[in-house]
Structure 1
Amino acid sequence: MPATRALPTREAADLIELTRTLAAKELAPRATEAEADGTFPRDIFRLLGRSGLLGLPYDEEYGGGGQSYEVYLQVLEELGAVWSSVGIGVSVHGLACFGLAAYGSEEQKRTWLPELLGGELLGAYCLSEPHAGSDPAAMRTRAVRDGDHYVLNGTKAWTTHGGHADFYTVMARTSDHRTHGISCFLIPADTPGLHADPPEKKMGLTGSATATMRFEDVRVPVDRRIGEEGQGLHIALASLDRGRLGIAAVATGLAQSALDQALRYAQERETFGKPIIEHQALAFMLADMDAGIVSARATTQAAARLRDLGLPFTVEASVAKLVATDNAMKVTTDAVQVLGGYGYTRDFPVERLMREAKVMQIFEGTNQIQRLVISRALDRDAGGAITVVDGGS
């Protein structure tokens, strides 16, 4: 069943209705087959872009939707409930646009951002490397200044949309300083020397292409560096805060879908003369699934509101990602259990949802990394801040 939503404006409510309509008509009929075949739905992203859903959290003056994260994440949740690969893809596109939108010069933003947000182009984000996943400061991909260009050489792993994207936001080392030696670049996909390996063969999210990207003497004009030289790690970490909220939202939608399917089965399947939902042991399992989803949604929305108020939300983003993705793994596993033997077959989609939930505990920083972020904040902070939002006495 669709989540109950309290939205801030009529425009936001209309946006959710649009998302639900597109998801039901365009995504739902194709999701199962595309995931089985490993087909990347490039046309779906084009459709979502033309419908205004790829640039929702960015300023309208640059072609974005001007929506808060509170609203944007609810759109991602709706997409994730129907087709997780698409929900993740929209989140990754937003991640790829963030560096330019937040740290680009006014000339860079006016030159490139409207095209990136306009719907025809799809972005990818290159941070992780084969030996440097959870430790981005250990990256080895290097950008060497050569006159009015940089020359990039190296390898980026686990690139969502790798080989299908139209542009790549790339972090590369411009000096040997561990934390201030990384810079950010916006690189078109057709740049000579930029190549994608064959896509990874994954256990889930097979409709989302993930590939290693190789940079072989890739020449990038200096004006495609985003921010100052050495500012890249800061940009990357700020991007991840937002990306983690996107993953949390999609994971919540995925869990909602698993619950909905388990609930329908429990209402229809009979044992000992009555629907299995009337057996308390199973009914309580469904109740726990619902409680976990409601909690994950609330946690994600609470972090989004901090971001919208301009307050620090790094720790809250880690909490949301941890809570929502761990919950998605539990809910999907329980959904398989509710369906019994049928849940273990591909005749029902809950086994696919369980496989898709697993990776959400891994990307955008493993959940062990989220616990590290949270625990360090607990050790460092003496207490929480109090902020008056609406004024008053």
Structure 2
Amino acid sequence: MEHPPYRLAEEFDRFLGDPNDPDEVFSYARCAELDDREEFPADICHRFQEWGLPDHYVPVEHGGRLRDYEQVLQLARAVARRDLTCAIGHGKTYLGGVCVWVAGTAEQAAGLGADIMAGVPVSLGLTERAHGSDLLAGDVRTDDKAPDTGDHWLVSGEKWLINNATRGSVLSLLTRTNPDGGPRGFSVLLVDKRELDEDTYRHLPKIRTHGIRGADISGIAFDGARVPRGALVGAEGAGLEIVLKALQLTRTMCAALSLGAGDHGLRLGLDFAEERELYGRRLIELPQARHVLSGAAADVLLHEAVALVAARAVQTQTAELSVTSAVTKYLLPTGTDQVLADLTGLLGARAFLKGVYADGRFQKVERDHRLVGLFDGNTLVNLNSLINQFRSLVRGYRRGTGDTAGAVAACDLAAPLPPLDPAKLSLVARHGSGVLAGLAASVDEIARRAGTEPALAPVAEAARRLLAATAAVHTEMEEYQGVLTEVPPAAFEVARRYALCWAGAACVGLWTHSTGHVGDDPGTGALWRDGLWLHTALDRLLVRLGEPAAAGPETYEELLGALRAARSSGRLFSLLPQRSPERPAAAGTAAAESERTSC
């Protein structure tokens, strides 16, 4: 099966050259050097521009090449797999434009799209030093009562801890347009710093961070900056709603960062185990090392499955993205942090040292990834978003409602994706979750197949147990349906368990609806046959739900064998079919250009 989103990401990766070659612009050595100097990777971003990566941040209807959100996921994953600083620093431009894609005018979208494709960095100004994630407390405000405002807003105040605040020329700015604030007291302005009087704004110093050291994490302060009235994105007073809807898209796409970090960390851990000798044996031969690696491999595939379904659900289940994005943004960063922590125990001291093993790449990816769980809504923010929807989620589950057709399309990798309709974005999944509503049917299908394929029997049993656990979690959710303020800690634990159930349902659905397309691929077929990856994914989730294990050591040994086979063949350990891993003699071949122009 050809999977176009991943195929183009492969072409992009080939264009970037071999990251192990220090002479390449986007090499591991170059990224380590920039990290030591805390310098922005400008030359690497220029390489992205040469290929046309920014074109994929702009929807096709606004002149770009973004028609498939899984494509964005795979391209950003390819960057993050090499270096998270580059992925976060460059990808912020996509995040900065989303408010306009959601609610801007055609003229605004066309102008911003042209800027992005020309390489103009864009930023998203939300947080403030005194208020953090509390967007309703924002103090950046407009003064339209002054006698000289005319056709302009006068903007004053400070945004802080903003990615690309200094480098970005254009800023999607959440600002208080009603002095009284409140849910309808904020608006989004598309601020072009190139048009501002330089005396009316200033950049705040770059913040020195533990991870992503080279990224432009800084701030911007305005003092009566004159912003044209035409910079208003959407309706006045609709800023908070626009931002929250835009964050549903950005939180989902943040999955690419965790996927890339997981890919990188797992490969480093495996390489170390294969090469390191202890007690007269290679580390890979020791039971504890095998246990750690196989568990990390199971989690990496689990995260990939969730991300694939979530990215496709952007277009197939848009009205339920409030749930999908919250689950994804909670689960993948926390899960990948745990994968890297587990692998740290495997590498020992070398996980923390620079210049000793793999140029210190592991310590870099580990500290870089810690920040992924913080931006675009941290762990508690995303769990709280789920708690706020408990009432509709419980009601939908009891009634069996939700967009089940959209869920099937998200889980079927061969199904075409409809264009994204931003008007369908909603702050609440009013009819519940179609992914969970379709779980019972998928469990029944696996049980039916197990009747003729005995190897699937343990998988069918694990899926049945997930279904029972899901019903129990919804019963727990009923106790907290009306909680809006002063949320008790127990409600967050229930939200965590709900996220695990959603992830399990996504995995079951993905295997059920896609195994026929990819199960025979010579590279990835072993993962799909007899439900191998699904079995270990369900085991990981059930254990975290407090259930007994669903897979034994022999299953994990089989998964470890598939991981090692991928390494031996030079392939990425992934659920998706891949082409030959050989790189072309020169980056930027005609094949890559042909792929680019044909999309």
SS of match in other structure, 1:263: helix
Alignment of 1:312 with 2:311, yes or no, is: no
Shift of residue 20, structure 1, vs aligned partner = 4.5
Cα offset, 1:322, TM superposition: 1.2
Tell me the residue number matched to 2:85.
85
1:369 pairs, out of 367, 376, 381, with: 381
Structure 1 residues 67 and 48 mapped into 2: Cα distance closer, same or farther (>3 Å)?
A: farther
Summarize deviations over 1:26-65 as a string: whole Å, max 9, x none.
Answer: 3224211111111112233233234221231533343311
Change (3 A) 1:199 1:57: closer
Contact 1:143 1:153 in 2 (8 A): yes
1:332 aligns with 2:340: yes
Task: Give, in whole Å, the separation in 2 of the partners of 1:55 and 1:238.
Answer: 22
Matched position secondary structure for 2:374: coil
Matching residue of 2:143? 144
Letter of the aligned partner of 1:99 in structure 2? Answer: C
Residue 182 (structure 1) aligns with: 186
- SS of the counterpart of 1:66? coil
Shift, 1:184, TM fit: 0.8
**Structure 1 position 90, deviation (Å):** 3.4
Alignment of 1:147-296 (within 5 A): 147-175=150-178, 176-190=180-194, 191-192=196-197, 193-296=200-303
- SS at 1:206 equivalent: coil
Task: Please tell me whether residue 385 in structure 1 is matched to residue 392 in structure 2.
Answer: no
CA distance in structure 2 between the aligned counterparts of 1:207 and 1:126, rounded to whole angstroms:
19
Distance 1:59 1:246, change over 3 A: closer
- Give the stretch that moved more between structures: 249-258 or 101-110: 101-110
Q: What's the counterpart of residue 74 of structure 1?
A: 74
Structure-1 residue corresponding to 2:531: none
Most deviating of 50-59 and 280-289: 50-59
How far has the Cα of 1:7 moved from its partner?
A: 5.8
- Given that 2:96 and 2:123 are in contact with CA atoms closer than 8 Å, whether structure 1 keeps it comes out as yes
Distance, in Å, in 1 between the alignment partners of 2:294 and 2:240 is 42
Aligned to 1:52: 52
Q: Distance in 1 between matches of 2:6 and 2:263?
A: 21
**Deviation (angstroms), 1:123:** 0.7
2: CA distance, partners of 1:276 / 1:54: 42
Q: Distance in 1 between matches of 2:370 and 2:39?
A: 20
When normalised by structure 1's length, the TM-score is 0.92
Partner residue in 2 for 1:17: 11
Letter in 1 for 2:85: S
Residue pair 1:169, 1:184 contacting (<8 A) in 2 also: yes
Consecutive aligned runs of 4 or more in structure 1 exceeding 4 Å deviation: none
Q: Determine if contact 1:249/1:324 at 8 Å carries over to the other structure.
A: no
Which letter does structure 2 place at the counterpart of 1:387? T
CA distance in 1, matches of 2:2, 2:221: 43
Provide closer, same or farther for how the CA distance between residues 248 and 73 of structure 1 changes in structure 2, counting only shifts above 3 A: same
* 1:377 Cα deviation from its structure 2 partner: 2.1
CA contact (8 A) 2:6 2:74 kept: no
Q: Provide Cα deviations, 1:263-305, integer angstroms capped at 9, x if missing partner.
A: 1010000112211011111111011111111111211221111
**Is the 8 Å Cα contact of residues 300 and 317 (structure 1) preserved in structure 2?**
no
Q: Alpha-carbon deviations, 1:326-382, whole Å to 9, x = none?
A: 122112222222111222212222112221121112111111111111222234321
- In structure 2, distance between residues paired with 1:172 and 1:268: 54
Question: Displacement, 1:78?
Answer: 1.2
Provide the rounded CA distance (Å) in 2 between the counterparts of 1:133 and 1:178.
Answer: 16
Partner amino acid, structure 1, of 2:123:
A
**8 Å CA contact retained: 2:66, 2:72:** no
Name the stretch that deviates more: 112-121 or 280-289: 112-121
Q: More strand per residue: 1 or 2?
A: 1
Q: Distance in 2 between matches of 1:8 and 1:322?
A: 27
Q: Is the 8 A contact 1:205 1:356 kept in 2?
A: yes
| Unmatched segments (≥5 aa) in structure 1 | 1-5
Q: Distance in 2 between matches of 1:209 and 1:198?
A: 9
Asked if the contact 1:255/1:327 (under 8 Å) is kept, the reply is no
**Structure 1 residues 317 and 34: CA distance shift in structure 2, 3 A:** same
CA contact (8 A) 1:125 1:169 kept: yes
Measured at CA, do residues 43 and 227 of structure 1 come closer, stay the same or move farther in structure 2, by a change above 3 Å?
A: farther
Give the SS at the match of 1:56. Answer: helix
Judge conservation of contact 1:88–1:247 (CA < 8 Å) in 2: no
The answer to whether the 8 A contact 1:88-1:246 is kept is no
| Amino acid aligned to 2:169 | D
2:32 aligned with 1:32: yes
Alignment of 1:96-107 (within 5 A): 96-107=96-107
Residue deviations 1:241-270 (CA, integer Å, cap 9, x gap): 111122221112112101100110100001
Quote the sequence identity (%).
Answer: 23
Report the TM-score when normalising by structure 2.
0.61
8 A Cα contact 2:89 2:216, kept in partner: no
CA distance in 2, matches of 1:188, 1:202: 27
- Deviation of 1:173 (Å): 0.4
- Which residue in 1 is equivalent to 2:129? 130
- Taking the aligned partners of 1:313 and 1:118, their CA distance within structure 2 comes to 27
Q: Distance in 1 between matches of 2:99 and 2:151?
A: 21
Task: Give secondary structure in 2 for the equivalent of 1:132.
Answer: coil
CA–CA distance in structure 1, aligned partners of residues 352 and 79 of structure 2:
24
In 1, Cα distance between equivalents of 2:70 and 2:335: 20
Shift of 1:197: 1.1
Task: Find the aligned partners of 2:6 and 2:364 in 1 and give their Cα distance.
Answer: 31
